[in-house]
C-alpha cells in the first residue's frame, strides 16, 4: 500500500512508482464541503507551490486546490468533469484531481504523515 502525505489544506498526496505524485482531497475536506457539483481541473504544465490550480464547487461552498509542491502537472482526472460526485464517493481513490512530477521529490517527506494529519483534524474538530 502506498504511503500518503497530507497538507494543512486537507489535500492528500501519493507517490507513484513512475515518479509522479497523485493529488486529491481528504475525507475530512470532502465531508466539510458536502456534495461536490463541479470541478475545474488544472492546466497541465509547470506550477509553483501554493498556486491555485483547481476549483471545486459544492452545495455548501467553493474551494480551491493549490499546488502542494513545485512541479509539472502531467495528467488530470478527466472523469471528474462528467462525474464530479466521484470526489464524494471515493475521495482517496477515483476522486483524485491531478498527477504531477515534483521538482524535488524529497519535499514530500516534509509534508504531514498520517499521525500528524490525524492530530491536525482532531484539533479542528
Residue 43 pLDDT class (50, 70, 90 cuts): very high
| Cβ 20 vs Cβ 74: under 8 Å | yes
Residue 1 has pLDDT above 70, yes or no: no
* Total structural domains within the chain: 1
Residue 109 pLDDT class (50, 70, 90 cuts): very high
Q: Give which of 77, 111, 84 is closest to 8, Cα–Cα.
A: 111
Residue 57 lies in a domain: yes
Cα(99)–Cα(71) distance, rounded to whole angstroms? 10
For residue 96, the enclosing domain spans 4-120
Residue 125 lies in a domain: no
13-31 pLDDT, tens per residue? 999 999 999 999 999 999 9
The pTM for the full model equals 0.94
Residue 33 has pLDDT above 80, yes or no: yes
pLDDT at res. 58: 93
Residue 24 lies in a domain: yes
46-78 pLDDT, tens per residue? 999 999 999 999 998 899 999 999 999 999 999
Residue 116 pLDDT class (50, 70, 90 cuts): very high
What's 26's domain CATH number?
2.40.50.100
Mean pLDDT, the chain, integer: 94
Residue 40 lies in a domain: yes
pLDDT at res. 3: 85
Amino acid at each position: 500500500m502506498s504511503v500518503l502525505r497530507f497538507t494543512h489544506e486537507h489535500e492528500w498526496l501519493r507517490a507513484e512508482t513512475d515518479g509522479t505524485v497523485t493529488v486529491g482531497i481528504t475525507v475530512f475536506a470532502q465531508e466539510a464541503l458536502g456534495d461536490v457539483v463541479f470541478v475545474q481541473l488544472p492546466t497541465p504544465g509547470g506550477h509553483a507551490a501554493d498556486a491555485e490550480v483547481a476549483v471545486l464547487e459544492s452545495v455548501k461552498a467553493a474551494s480551491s486546490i493549490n499546488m502542494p509542491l513545485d512541479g509539472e502537472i502531467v495528467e488530470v482526472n478527466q472523469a471528474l468533469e462528467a462525474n464530479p460526485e466521484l470526489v464524494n464517493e471515493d475521495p482517496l481513490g477515483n476522486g483524485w484531481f491531478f498527477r504531477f512530477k515534483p521538482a524535488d521529490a524529497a519535499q514530500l517527506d516534509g509534508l504531514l504523515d498520517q499521525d500528524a494529519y490525524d492530530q491536525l483534524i482532531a484539533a479542528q474538530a
